[in-house]
Amino acid sequence: MQIHVVQTGDTLWQIAQTYNTNIDLIVQANQIPNPNQLVIGQAMVIPIVGSFYWVQAGDNLWSIAQRFGMDYTRLAQINAINPNQPLQIGFRLYLPPQQRRSIETNAYIEPRGTSVSQALLAEARIAGPYLTYLAPFSYEARRDGSLQRLPLQGIPEVAQETGTSLMMVVTNLEGGQFSGELGRDIFQSQAVQDLLIDNIIAETKRVGRYTDVHFDFEFLPGDQRQAYNNFLRKAASRLRAEGLLISSALAPKTRADQPGQWYEAHDYRAHGEIVDFVVLMTYEWGYSAGPPLAVSPIRQVEEVLQYALTEMPGSKIMMGQNLYGYDWTLPFVEGGEYAKAVSPQRAIELATQYQVQIQYDTQAQAPHFDYVDEEGRAHKVWFEDARSIQAKFDLIKRLNLRGISYWKLGLSFPQNWLLISENFEVVKR
């Protein structure tokens, strides 16, 4: 795959000619709604084998080969050029596909109401070939050790069709909110814990495709840190005896003693020792009730990952990644109107509709733009595109992580799945 950013005057015909491909393939890969109306700054994935690189000032064949992990004589041979002659700025080099490493991938799927919509199942079918796990969100643990089920209609069948395992997500949600007191009640009773684990195991057997049980207990009181660790130890022993993996979700910390109820009970070192892998919730710096910011700016994401690597090996870490952005109405007022979640596809449609250029913040590694709606209200949109997701994939490779976990299916981002297959071999269980 090749990532191309639309410049002034670009047309799909010109872009296709540049990369020796055709317009239909580009339109299909990026699901471009109006091929005759491209947006300046829009990033597109060009479906070709390998990629092209245009020589820039200061480049030489050796430095380019080093950057892409190749031998410079091999690069010269592929491009039929003399390895000892200097390169001209603007010269196009062909880069063959690179060797892909194996990773695990997960995507949460959140049914609403009492059934699973056909649109959500369709999104799961698209994503399924690129996933190790599909994670229905969520089973809710109860204070008496019972388990509140969620609708699954069609989800196990989609997992079967796409060769995907299911991840059973168990939370301390109560009344739509994470409840620290519910968690405390469970952790303080051995009998309740035993019954809860019994019910979890029974559900994995009933459904039949669960290979991992994933605990997402949030907003726990800080004094429940050790109790949560002990519960996970008990659960790990029971679940492994049934041939199941165990994983947990962790708030995005940058130090062990980070204050705040979202962080204090999440013990990175203990989780790294107890569970098979963790999902780090490395997103929501920009969130619906907050000011306009990139949702997962890469510097902040890496800070969390670097801390996690001091507490556990990279082979146990799945980086969390958003599949969405937000559209804020300005000026931002704390406690005022919430930002609207938008898919990357919807963000492009908005930029096209209002004829505004997409900018790219190289520090955050995220695209954004501003527009004014029909009522004269100013808006700010931060979202994800091929460039921002490729930056995260490069981070996974550099830090040698286990993989990536997406929150959540339902907002279309076709480029992501194409780039997954370009960068990695997805493990299937």
**Which residues does the annotation mark as catalytic?**
218
Let me know: does 247 contact 213? Beta carbons within 8 Å: yes
Nearest CA to 100 among 396, 414, 415, 429?
Answer: 396
Q: Which residues are within 8 A (CB) of 114 and not within 5 positions of it... i.e. 6 or more apart?
A: 151
* Rounded distance between C-alpha atoms, residue 308 and residue 302, angstroms: 10
Let me know: does 69 contact 53? Beta carbons within 8 Å: no
Q: Which residues are within 8 A (CB) of 223 and not within 5 positions of it... i.e. 6 or more apart?
A: none
* Rounded distance between C-alpha atoms, residue 194 and residue 234, angstroms: 9
Q: How many CB atoms lie within 10 A of CB 308?
A: 27
Dihedral Cα 329, 334, 340, 345, nearest 10 deg: 70
* Rounded distance between C-alpha atoms, residue 175 and residue 370, angstroms: 36
Bond before 86 cis per omega within 30 degrees:
no
